[in-house]
Amino acid sequence: MTSKRRRARIADPTGGGKRAPLSLTKLTNLHEPQEIHLGGLAEEGELLEREDRRPERAPGLAAGAAALSQAVKTLPSGPGVYRMLDRRGEVLYVGKAKSLRKRVYAYTQVGKLPRRLQRMVAETVALEVVATGSEVEALLLESNLIKRFMPRYNVLLRDDKSFPYILIGGDHPFPRIQKHRGSQDLVGSYYGPFASAGAVNRTLTALEKAFLLRSCSDALFANRTRPCLLYQIKRCSAPCVGRISEADYAKLVAEARDFLSGKSQAVQAELAEAMQDASERLDFEQAARYRDRIRALAHVQSHQDVNVAGVEDADVIAARQMGGQTCIQVFFFRAGRNYGNRSYFPSHDKSLDQSEVLGAFVAQFYENKPIPKLVLLNAELDEQALVADALALSAGRQVEIAVPKRGAKRKLVEAAERNAEEALARRLADSSAQSKRLQELADLFDLEQPPERIEVYDNSHIQGSNPYGAMIVAGPEGFRKNAYRRFAIRGLSREEGEESASNDDYAMMREVLTRRFSRAQKEDPERTQGGWPDLVLVDGGRGQLNAALDVFAELGIEDLPVAGIAKGPERDAGRERIFLADRAPILLQPADPLLHYIQRLRDEAHRFAIGTHRAGRSKARLKSVLDDIPGIGPTRKKALLHHFGSARAVEQAGLADLEAVEGISSGVAKKIHDFFHGG
């Protein structure tokens, strides 16, 4: 497929010639230039040297080395970041160097390079470099560009999800406690990060029981006339209807903040004292309330798993390798408590060792995530001091990276190692089962080898309205959701006088496959870019299969295996029939694991198609005939609807009435009038 990746310029975030303090946030908005400058990193006037030679065909190893040798002559000897590009302009590799000239020169000594780097040099036809003020700045820029371009020869961390937090608001007399994910632009106190939404939800439930803070929105709070269910089940103090004073509620908020800040022992001691005092006063109902709150706090702490004295604000990161794959386990400790852990499986070449993968992971992981004061690792990094300096520069304070050898911190690292080993073993077991299913699929369809890319197609509509086609992609690693595609059916006619595609399932399938594979033939006729499937499955029986075969015959595609998956009689799961071009339908046993795998593929395509159709239907409901009038944008549309009340009233309005609408000039009014009345 044609790549959409292009060269990048990093604009000066300060808008002037002065050097700005570097931060990862400032490096996220990259622009697309002809020349590349690095404002805020390089000295004013410092140039980006660039060699760009792009023959029509990819060079061999000698040609790639020669191109790099030519580029070396003009490279600066200072620190910076370099990018190697292939003949299509895609970034093959992003690296940083203390000396750009020496680092790139090393790639020209092809005899000393491992096979992986030799392959990379053989594909290289262009080099781009960015000179930076220091090696630390180069490391930060390298991490940012790897996240942006996802070069296939780098170690890639594909999970960019933000972590959830607990937020206690600070802009309301009765602050709300809630889960928060994303930018921290709301007023209040944030506590986290937590490893998962589930961990946050469990903690929130316990905190509501312990401190009785409200979780409802401000709008709901302002309109309550009686307590809600949360008050009845003792998870809220009902400040919305005055069941607690502002001063007493503020005390609960202060206790919650103290608990989340690590002062849990003091909070529990205070509650225990209050419970004892209530008991001595024979106020057993109040004492029971304090008891329940203490139990809720104990519940939070019992789910913290591993806690170590002296570890207040730290991440524990451990890597384990097996079978050419690496699992990296991250434990989050904040305010002295464990906020959960998460497994990562970075993509990398099998020749890279554990230390290299771990170093690349740490550099990329904190590009868009909070940086703690302490990072504990299970192995030394090749440039550990440099990585620590880069993290400190991003965080604006000192950051320590350590590899503990003994004591309580070492036990934390060992716990992370065990989790990494177990997660990796589970993944390899799943991968082994997946490989077995793919081999069985190859045997079933007489493929030469297990398919690397399977495409499954399905359509969704309601009696021809809002028709959409959907394509999902699966492979050895499971579903590739970033490769899914949606097709809005345009209603191409099948033959003269026949129904349009929007009212015919077979014609819909023809349209979707025609658009998909016509584009594939145009963009990758030699099938060298990995965008062609090894197997095509369509949801349906003989009719859908024949529609697909007709499309492939028209396009001259003769070597692409295709099959139809039809639901069983009365749509019974387990009785699906598999239709092939020149064979009788295949009926697998209901308990056959291969049938279950095929059902998963079909069901995923069905789910994606229905979701696409529903989204399109919802969008269509919001569409107005006013959207079709040239020059009528959201502002004018809103003004017309406010003035006339409906699109139908706009259609029936006279020219003078249209001119009376605020914001509608006489020229625009005439255009609207002519649109509806054929002027």
- Residue 572 banded pLDDT, cuts 50, 70, 90: low
Contact 96, 79 (CB under 8 A): yes
Q: Tens digit of pLDDT for each residue in 372-430?
A: 899 999 999 988 999 999 999 988 889 999 999 988 889 889 999 999 999 888 888 77
- Rounded percentage of the chain residues whose pLDDT exceeds 70: 83
pTM: 0.62
pLDDT at 679: 59
> Is the backbone peptide bond immediately before 593 cis, with ω within 30 degrees of 0?
no
According to DSSP, residue 333 is labeled E
Contact 457, 605 (CB under 8 A): yes
Q: CA torsion, points 625, 630, 633, 639, in degrees to nearest 10?
A: -60
Q: Tens digit of pLDDT for each residue in 486-500?
A: 898 876 543 433 444
pLDDT average, residue stretch 223-229:
88
Contact 54, 100 (CB under 8 A): no
Contact 221, 227 (CB under 8 A): no
- Residue 503 banded pLDDT, cuts 50, 70, 90: low
Contact 138, 81 (CB under 8 A): yes
Structure tokens, 220:
């709901």
Contact 228, 239 (CB under 8 A): no
pLDDT at 56: 39
Contact 547, 506 (CB under 8 A): yes
213: nearest Cα among 167, 148, 182, 171: 167
How high is the mean pLDDT of the chain?
Answer: 80
Contact 61, 121 (CB under 8 A): yes
CB atoms closer than 10 angstroms to residue 554: 13
Flag whether pLDDT at 309 surpasses 90: no
pLDDT at 588: 86
Q: What secondary structure does DSSP assign to 198-217, as a single string?
A: HHHHHHHHHHHHHH----S-
Beta bridge partners of 565: 539, 578
Flag whether pLDDT at 28 surpasses 60: no
308: nearest Cα among 202, 412, 396, 415: 412
Alpha-carbon gap, residue 392 to 140, rounded angstroms: 11
Exposure string over 625-637, b if 16+ CB within 10 A, otherwise e: ebeebeebeeebb
Phi, psi of 323 (to 5 degrees): 60, 30
Contact 565, 576 (CB under 8 A): yes
pLDDT at 102: 92
93: nearest Cα among 132, 129, 146, 138: 146
- Residue 561 banded pLDDT, cuts 50, 70, 90: very high
Alpha-carbon gap, residue 20 to 133, rounded angstroms: 11
Return the CA Rg of the chain: 31
Q: Classify 237 as helix, strand or coil.
A: coil
359: nearest Cα among 394, 323, 386: 386
Looking at this protein, which amino acid is placed at residue 637? K
**What domains does the chain contain, in order, with CATH numbers?**
25-149 (3.40.1440.10), 164-302 (no CATH), 314-425 (3.30.420.340), 454-620 (3.30.420.340), 625-677 (1.10.150.20)
Q: Between 620 and 39, where is the model more confident?
A: 620
Q: How many residues does the chain have?
A: 679
